Amino acid sequence: MLAPNPVKTYPAFHSFVAALRDWMRQRRLIRQSQQRLFACDNDEIGRIAHDVGLSSQELRHMAALGPDAAKLLFERMAALHLDAEALTERAPSTMRDLQRLCSNCVAKKRCQRDLVLTPNDADWRQYCPNADTLDALPSEPALVHQ
């Protein structure tokens, strides 16, 4: 009978590889977003920017941040039991402003950590540029998940 040959696993290595793979995926998405936008001429960029309520310069900047730049906003809204889809339908300009501020926020790491460790703690209000708006939204019953 052969003795079992246990396979050694290295969780830290696998975690590193997963993080590297996610980073590479994010960089690829950002590059694709930029390439699609830069393939447009200035008039087309102006029309797209107008359609989404941004300036051409803001649109270019948002494309450079990538498609997941406001991901934490949706996580924060879920933690607050706010319906992002309903807000997008009822007040698209408000949702756009929330996304723009979240995308450009300098406290993303802290926000991500707080969402994982203490999502119900009010500390996020001290650094979140969307705190006032998010605090005001529950006054609209149609935007709150029951």
What tens digit of pLDDT does each residue of 102-146 get? Answer: 998 999 999 999 999 998 899 999 999 999 999 999 877 766 765
Is residue 60 packed enough to be buried (19+ CB in 10 Å), middle (13-18) or exposed (0-12)? middle
pTM of this prediction? 0.68
What tens digit of pLDDT does each residue of 63-79 get? Answer: 888 778 899 999 999 99
Residue 140 token pair: 């609209």
